[in-house]
Structures are given as structure tokens and as C-alpha cells.
Amino acid sequence: MDLLNTLVDKGLRRESPTREEALAVLATSDDDLLDVVAAAGKVRRHWFGRRVKLNYLVNLKSGLCPEDCSYCSQRLGSRAEILKYTWLKPDQASAAAAAGVSGGAKRVCLVASGRGPTDRDVDRVSDTIRAIKEQNESVEVCACLGLLSDGQAERLREAGADAYNHNLNTSESTYGDITTTHTYADRVDTVNKAHAAGLSACSGLIAGMGESDEDLVDVVFSLRELDPDSVPVNFLIPMEGTPLADEWHLTPQRCLRILAMTRFVCPDVEVRIAGGREVHLRTMQPLALHLANSVFLGDYLTSEGQAGHADLEMIADAGFEVEGAGEVTLPEHRASVRGGGCGSHEDGGCGSHAGADGAAGGTGGCGSHAGGGVCAPAPASAPVRTAEEPRTDLVAVRRRGAGTDLAPNA
């Protein structure tokens, strides 16, 4: 297919496709899907080999957010029965982070619900970052606390943060349809503040909120312009008790096309499969590893994810390898601009849609929309499902890990 050959050539040169080419990827047929994956896979392997970076979420403060993001289970007015708790103490957060690191995570993403941090909140998170770094100096720490005020990004960097996550989520033209308590421009401003402070910027999107192909292309091109080091791609998990609870429109094939389009537009950037992969990609998750070079390990912010050991088995069985702590994630031309190797602000941020199913609340929240659902096997007697039927059975509220007395999933 001439389109795919053109996109591969452009990706290897770090050249942007046209909007028409990006839209054409989303419009490809199921018959062409494996060709699309193979083409985008060439670009992914050129810049990132067969490495998969593992990231781990720690929800520092869950629920009770004053923002009204429609996708988020922590939003103002949410009736979702999620865990609600105030700030974890630094030792509690450090213990939670250690579980992820012991499971193979290279980066820990510290997330808190809310519009944005107060100066006291920045102090709390700074103490937590130091506690984590004291335990494991090489671990990368990404903060995701919502909208930043002047000087806060600099203070987080001084405390040892490597990255900051704040997702654009959707196109500027439709942003007001999902959130009214802050603006698209507010989000762009926070990503720019992270950049200016020398933090590795992480910013991504949520697919499946009723957006058009044009909206998806718009937000990915906007992300390319912002130039984050990592782009988390979240797939909406419609959580009961949120305004988007009935938005079940994604298929595994649609998700793969979205990831491929993102890879073609952002060829040398860490593309992360974030919240919702278990629910929407399901048994086709291994194919997504040919498109993205980064995933979350274990649970999300407010919902459960696939078992950590199952993630590791999937990566190995698909012929990929977990990226080591001593390896630099980004290609050399990007890593050198950001300041060097592992742990020194060299690569992508936390990502993860911070809320699609209840992640970090309106503006806070790491991203990974806090919610890939449980990937539990169906009982042997389960009826055969059609592709159009929503898998609501794969969504489960997180009841373990941070904020509980139960061991985390890592």
C-alpha cells in the first residue's frame, strides 16, 4: 500500500505525515489492519527496538475532585464507588512505589486528584519523591498533580522529579464538551511550564469519548507541536456513575489504528498504552506492543488492571523485552536535548488518561485513565459475545494497593 510505504519513510526521517495521511490510517479496513500494524511497527522498532518500558502508578490522593471532567470517576458529582482517601504519607507512597519497582517498573508515576497542587501539596509530593529516590536512586519519578502555578514545576524538579504529566485528552474544538471547570489552554500552559522547568513533559489523549477521526488527528498533531517526550494513549473506560458510562464504541481494531496513527505522527516519542487496554484491546494487546514502546504495570488509579505477572508474560511471549533501569528510553537525539540518561529528565512522562474511568480527577491524575479493567478469564460456560457487545465485565474498581491494607498488583 503506497500510503503505508510513505508513512514508514516519513517516520524513519522523523517527518510529519499530512493530516490527510493520518486520517487515512484511521479509515483503513480490517482487511488492511495487519499491514498497518506491520508498517507502524517498523517505525517503532527503528527508534525503540523491541524494548518495552514499564511504568507504575501510585494514587497519592483519590477521589473528591472539584473538576467536572466527564470521563473521570473522581470528578465532582461522580457516583462511582471508588476508593476515596486523602494524601498518603511519604513512607506509604514509597512502599507502594517499591512494589512497582520490584515488579520491573522503571518509572513511578505519582498522581493526585484535584484541580492543581497548593504550595503545601508540592511540599508533600517533594518529600515523597525524596523518600522514593532514597530507596532506589535510579528510579524515574513522574508527578501528575493537575494545573501548575508559577514556580511549582521548578520545585518538583529540585526535589528530584524527572517528568510531569498533564494530558490534553481531546481536541481543542471539543474540549468544552468534556470539561467546563478549566480550559484546553490551561492544560497547554501546564505542559509548557513543565518543559520550561527542565522536566520531561508527558501529555496524551483519551480515545472513545465520542470524538470523530478529525478530533483524534487534531489532538495528536497538537501533541506533536507541544513536543512531549511521551504520549500516553488512553482508551475510555466507561465507569458507572460518570457521564460517559454508556460510551462503549471502541473495538480492538479501532484501538490499534489509533495507536498506529499516533506512532506515525510521533515516530520518535515514547508512545504508552495507558488506561483501558485490557478492556478494549483484550486478546489483541500483544499486537499493540508493535506500536507502543511503553505500558503501565498492574493496576491503575481507581480501577484494576491485568495482573502484573500476566503483563510480563505477554511482553515475553510477544518477543519483546522489558527495558532495563540502565537503558535510556528515548533515541539519542531526544535524550541529549533533555539532559541525558536514565533518571535525569531524559524521557517520557507518566501519562495515562488521568481519569477515563476515574483516574486522577479532573485535571490531576497521571493519566492512564486510572482504569484499565480487570482482565479476568471468562468462565467456561460464558456465552459467545459479538464484537459489538461492551465488555462491562472487564471493569472493576480498585480495592487493593495504595489507600488500602491489601497488597498491590505489581
Residue 405 within any structural domain of the chain: no
Position 320 in a domain: yes
Residue 357: pLDDT band with limits 50, 70, 90: very low
- Alpha-helix residue ranges (DSSP H) falling in 208-326: 213-226, 252-265, 277-280, 285-288, 308-317
8-state DSSP, 284? G
- Output the CA torsion sign for 241, 360, 71, 394: negative
> For residue 130, what are the domain limits?
17-377+387-394
One-letter amino acid at 119 equals D
Domain assignment of residue 156, yes or no: yes
- pLDDT tens readout for residues 5-30: 999 999 999 999 999 999 999 999 99
User: What pLDDT, on a 0 to 100 scale, did the predictor assign at position 364?
Assistant: 52
Is 9 inside a domain boundary? no
- What global pTM score does this model have? 0.88
Nearest CA to 300 out of 205, 201, 410 is that of 410
Please give the single-letter amino acid code of residue 187.
R
Is 67's pLDDT higher than 80?
A: yes
Q: For residue range 247-296, what is the model confidence (pLDDT) as tens digits? A: 999 999 999 999 999 999 999 999 999 999 999 999 999 999 999 999 99
Q: Is residue 223 part of a domain?
A: yes
Residue 142 maps to a domain: yes
Confidence band of 394 (pLDDT split at 50, 70, 90) = confident
Sign of CA dihedral 221, 204, 145, 356: positive
CATH value at residue 357: 3.20.20.70
Q: In total, how many domains does the chain have? A: 1
Sign for the pseudo-dihedral over CA of 23, 26, 31, 34: positive
What are the residue numbers of the active site? Answer: 65, 69, 72, 109, 142, 202, 272
